[in-house]
Structure 1
Amino acid sequence: MLFQSSRIKFRKMTAEDAALYHAWRNDMEVMQSTNPYLDMYDIDATKEFVNQVILGGPSSKSYIIVEKETEKPIGITSLINIDYKNRNAECIIDIGERAFWGKGYGTETMRLLLDYAFLEMNLHRVALRVFSFNEKAIKLYEKMGFRHEGKARQSLFRAGAWHDVIHMGILQDEYLRDE
């Protein structure tokens, strides 16, 4: 069934989710591997970000990832920069609840998101960006069929060192071939 697997389901993100997102957005351990701008945000800045960036544009679709057994929200996933004419989008996954890290929730989330992107929206290509030090995420994306398409060399300064931002993508026929 669309938007759910055995352990998780997606629900559309709403403005009421700003407080929940605010907690994840201000957890430096959560944002370390996903946000290029490590900073603390006040609740008003988060509400503005949620309303204008996440919910405000027709070129994005954002969902809260919910663990089905407990109904606990555990993260957010999005398709952003959706280009309907050229059938392209960029995807983002943030598992905001650290207790759910390393337990396969990212894989399930990516599978549901790509099923939606390719089977329902009929997109041709989905891309993403990942920090070079995030080896677990890179392995997940490779396992899902994403290919390395390039990198922005030393474009992220984190923990006293420069890191690359790796660009990856998957095409609809590559994803469907692996189904």
Structure 2
Amino acid sequence: MFSGEKIKFRKLVPADAESYHEWRNDFSVMRSTSPYLDLYSSMETEEFVTMISTSANAKSYMIETKENEKPIGVVSLINLDFKNRSAECVIDIGDKSMWGKGIGFEAMSLLVHYAFSELNLHRLSLQVFSFNQNAISLYEKIGFKVEGQSREALYRDGQYHDVILMGLLKDEAKLETN
């Protein structure tokens, strides 16, 4: 359930703030995933990681390599709604040396499989910046469909960009583990 070919998940804990702090303060990492580019103090990151790792309506996991258990990113299901069986997906691959190696696809596939098979969710959603074509292609490969967009909702690199809203229903997921 929490292990793939190259990676595995483990529960995100407050002690993970140190790894996350490095990624959170790297603009090249957060440029494509966070609407807020800023420099954060260690204390601010500790508070943030504690908040997301202990939230009652979220499940957050550290992504580690299977080879050496090195932390390389974070995945989360946020805004968990068990009545309507839905959640929003979030992913950050913080270790830039792991970019372009299929880690994002494997991590999202594991997260989607967990959400549908273990949590019995019916619907997943996510938000992605319109300039992040690699992520959009990855999500579409898993089966996510564009459901809308927030026009010019993000100001980045001197211009406005749309935020694309995507959704996936359980019976639409394109997973090898189905």
TM exceeding 0.5 = yes
- 140, 149, 152: which one aligns with 1:151: 149
CA distance in 1, matches of 2:128, 2:175: 24
For the 8 Å contact 2:65–2:71, the answer to whether it is kept is yes
For the 8 Å contact 2:80–2:86, the answer to whether it is kept is yes
Unaligned runs of 5+ in 1: none
Map of 2:20 onto structure 1: 21
Map of 2:123 onto structure 1: 125
Change beyond 3 A, Cα 1:176–1:120:
farther
How far the C-alpha of 1:177 sits from its partner, in A, is 8.4
Change beyond 3 A, Cα 1:177–1:160:
closer
Aligned-pair identity in percent equals 56
CA distance in 2, matches of 1:177, 1:33: 24
Map of 2:71 onto structure 1: 73
- 164, 172, 175: which one aligns with 1:174: 172
Map of 1:12 onto structure 2: 11
For residues 49-94 of structure 1, give each alpha carbon's deviation from its aligned partner in whole angstroms, at most 9, with x where no partner exists.
Answer: 1112x12321000000001112111100000000010000000110
When normalised by structure 2's length, the TM-score is: 0.97
Count of residues in correspondence between the two structures: 177
Unaligned runs of 5+ in 2: none
Q: Secondary structure at the match of 1:55?
A: helix
Map of 1:48 onto structure 2: 47
Question: In structure 2, what residue type is equivalent to 1:158?
Answer: R
For the 8 Å contact 2:109–2:175, the answer to whether it is kept is no
CA distance in 2, matches of 1:66, 1:47: 19
Change beyond 3 A, Cα 1:161–1:175:
same
CA distance in 2, matches of 1:83, 1:22: 28
Map of 1:36 onto structure 2: 35
Q: Secondary structure at the match of 2:76?
A: strand
- 158, 161, 164: which one aligns with 1:163: 161
How far the C-alpha of 1:176 sits from its partner, in A, is 6.5
Q: How does 1:105-144 map to 2 (within 5 A)?
A: 105-144=103-142
Whether 2:84 is the aligned partner of 1:86: answer yes
CA distance in 1, matches of 2:161, 2:34: 13
Map of 1:104 onto structure 2: 102
CA distance in 2, matches of 1:176, 1:99: 27
For the 8 Å contact 2:86–2:124, the answer to whether it is kept is yes
For residues 111-170 of structure 1, give each alpha carbon's deviation from its aligned partner in whole angstroms, at most 9, with x where no partner exists.
Answer: 100110000000000000000000000000011100000000001000011000000000
For residues 19-71 of structure 1, give each alpha carbon's deviation from its aligned partner in whole angstroms, at most 9, with x where no partner exists.
Answer: 1111110010000000001000000111111112x123210000000011121
| Runs of 4+ off more than 4 Å | none
How far the C-alpha of 1:12 sits from its partner, in A, is 0.3
